[in-house]
Amino acid sequence: MNTESRLCRKALTSLTDHLLSPAWRDPDIGIVHLGIGNFHRAHQAIYTEEAVAGAGGEWGICGVTLQGDVAKRDALAAQEGLYSVVERGPDAERVTVVRILREVLALPYDRAALFARLADPRVRIVSLTVTEKGYCRDGKTGDVDFGHPDIIHDLAHPAEPKTVPGILVAALRERRDNPFTVLSCDNLMHNGAALRQVTCSFANAIDPALGEWIATAVAFPSTMVDRIVPATSDSDRVSAATALAHADALPVPCEPFRQWVIEDCFPAGRPEWELAGAQLVSDVAPFELAKLRMLNGTHSALAYLSMLAGFETIDAAIREPDMHRLIHSMMTYEIIPTLAMPASFDTLAYRDALLSRYANPALKHRCAQIAMDGSQKIPQRLLGAIATRIEAGQPFARLALAIAAWMVFLRGHADDGSHYEIKDPLADRLTSLVAAAGPLPEKRLNALLSMREIFPAELAENLVFQHAVTDALVAIGHGARSAIAQYAR
């Protein structure tokens, strides 16, 4: 085995069994993707490669790292954009090589190249996976957060933007004759409309006519994206090298399951993603809500409880019988009743499929990865369901336990005393509020509920909500494992 040799296009002739799409001609670039992380490479990139393999079209992808990750850019460039996907099923592993990525750029270093791409009329879609915090959104208004330091920077230097709204507005200004479609692929409710609002509010602050034009002339379809994609580990590099007999510095691990539901609104055209199994629909909202609450909501619940109880990965956590019962009941009794799904959608089958996906022992999805950025995730994933339960006068103790687990998680150590880092754009404020409040449940609760960018006033001031979370905080005070057992009953 010659794993000294890097994956490259010349090597592909010896890799025919591993090519995602054997019939292939390299397409020109038609998509710029902001946020070239593992999720994009195991999700939209694969759908696009399969669509192009089946129906053609110049839909090659230019991937952009917004964090100046030059090492990633250079590693992918050294492999001519090729990378492998290591699909880890419970019983089998499959390694394939993806070819759709044609170029990788790193901001701020490749600013000129990026804006040249964005000005090119052949680029008809700009898609994004930048996580919740990448939207720089004011949680209270839904507009761009005018107090965000990077937004302040971008408003002062609109030709040198750092943020997503800044980049989109600078690029769209040059595309008045032929705007590209902007495609959010992040886990936000109404992600297309949310992105339109931050983009337009940013544009309005620079040039109201431009804001008005973007609001009416640019399409921002919504999507629901789903695939569990952990961070790359050494074992993924070993799997790729063993299967391919070539070294891949950046393989992506993922589960076999994937789903993409897309609002079909692409005035400038799109790849035939349906050939790869995507569902093109007129209304994504019910799918987004079900996925955000059922999957992401329970993922966050599992992550915070596990960080306290000492389960390192999701599969280890869900194999614990009390945890399984708790998450099963959270979905069945507290989340499913908040959804309004089309009659053809079997919510109980969806629940069972999620529980089996979590139990996949091959994936090793680390709870610490999911626990990141709680301040951005919790409103999207948990608070909406809780508000609906309160409105309906229905109990939500298990969802309250998830909120309480996050509040305790912020103290920075597990029940056994081992420390972990809080990674969150609001980490400094959150950890100082928690430290100043001390361990008493009521004080911790009041301190955190004061954060309006997370908890809207109506919820924060609701006594039913306060009592449910306080009870859960008291239960966790006796240890997360005992709280899990108590709430699983």
Piece of the chain touching ligand CS2 by CB under 6 A; list 77-85, 116-124, 176-184, 294-302 = 294-302
- Residue 279 as a binder of ligand CS2 (CB under 6 A): the answer is no
- Residue 228 as a binder of ligand CS2 (CB under 6 A): the answer is yes
In angstroms, the CA 175 to CA 447 distance is 46
Distances (CA, A) of 223 to 11, 305, 357: 35, 29, 21
- Residue 369 as a binder of ligand CS2 (CB under 6 A): the answer is yes
> Minimal CA–CA distance to 246: which of 445, 63, 33, 82?
82
- Residue 317 as a binder of ligand CS2 (CB under 6 A): the answer is no
Nearest residue to ligand CS2 by CB is 299
The nearer residue to ligand CS2, 170 or 327, going by C-beta atoms, is 327
CA 289 to the chain's CA centroid: 14
Identify the residue among 72, 299, 398, 444 touching ligand CS2 (CB under 6 A).
Answer: 299
Piece of the chain touching ligand CS2 by CB under 6 A; list 223-231, 343-351, 401-409, 470-478 = 223-231
The nearer residue to ligand CS2, 228 or 402, going by C-beta atoms, is 228
- Residue 296 as a binder of ligand CS2 (CB under 6 A): the answer is yes
In angstroms, the CA 188 to CA 194 distance is 8
- Residue 235 as a binder of ligand CS2 (CB under 6 A): the answer is no
Identify the residue among 50, 226, 263, 334 touching ligand CS2 (CB under 6 A).
Answer: 226
- Residue 191 as a binder of ligand CS2 (CB under 6 A): the answer is no
Q: Which amino acid is at 307?
A: M
Exposure string over 353-391, b if 16+ CB within 10 A, otherwise e: ebeebbbbebbbbbbeebbbbbbbbbbbbbbbbbbbbbe
- Residue 187 as a binder of ligand CS2 (CB under 6 A): the answer is yes
Identify the residue among 188, 262, 290, 370 touching ligand CS2 (CB under 6 A).
Answer: 370
CB of 481 to ligand CS2, least distance (A): 22
The nearer residue to ligand CS2, 210 or 353, going by C-beta atoms, is 353
Identify the residue among 190, 227, 270, 481 touching ligand CS2 (CB under 6 A).
Answer: 227
CB of 321 to ligand CS2, least distance (A): 23
- Residue 298 as a binder of ligand CS2 (CB under 6 A): the answer is no
In angstroms, the CA 471 to CA 442 distance is 10
Piece of the chain touching ligand CS2 by CB under 6 A; list 49-57, 116-124, 293-301, 463-471 = 293-301
Instruction: Give the residues lining the site for ligand CS2 (CB under 6 A).
Output: 187, 226-228, 295-296, 299, 369-370, 377
